[in-house]
Amino acid sequence: MENLVDGRCGWAGTDPLYVEYHDREWGRLVTDDRTLFEFLVLESAQAGLSWLTILRKREGYREAFHDFDVEQIARMDPETEVERLMHHDGIVRNRLKIRHTIENARRFMAIQKEFGSFYRYILTFFDDRPLPVVNHFETLAEIPATSPESDAMSRDMRKRGFRFFGSTICYAFLQATGFVDDHLEGCLCRSGKTR
């Protein structure tokens, strides 16, 4: 895989959906809890799959999970909803992932109650450092799969009962939601450049 393609990180390739996601979302700081929950659901769904597969199913997830309204999802009954959603073509039809989306919504709300917002909870793993944390990688091979922050956050979330949110998925979540900016040097979307 090339490091840069058409002036942007090579992982985005030339697929229009991937390019739009790279240019408009990936690496931009998200402070809104609804959007953070959306990415938590999507990143968890990705486990074992490609991110492009999940992006193509994003609208299906919005439909199946009440436009990522955490309170509505938390009220869903796993016993009946898992069976219903196993027939929904727009999402990854995996019983455990569906069940844990509902259960993770309840845990997400518990964190909101404890910290005031999920965003504030994430900040506790960055020790008041300015955000985003901007890395200076020149090649895709240099980008790590985890970080000390993703290790700590994933470990804490597992203690709180979250599933499908290991350190690698957590790091991808932090990249996607802009707590970490891993756009390569030379990428047109790098922090400080016009986007």
**Catalytic (active-site) positions:** 21, 43, 51
SS (H, E, C) the chain: CCCEECCEEHHHCCCHHHHHHHHHCCCCCCCCHHHHHHHHHHHHHHCCCCHHHHHHCHHHHHHHCHHHCHHHHHCCCHHHHHHHHCCCCCCCCCHHHHHHHHHHHHHHHHHHHHHCCHHHHHHCCCCCCCCCEECCCCCHHHCCCCCHHHHHHHHHHHHCCCCCCCHHHHHHHHHHCCCEECCCCCCCCCCCCCC
- Burial of residue 115 (CB within 10 Å: 0-12, 13-18, 19+) is middle
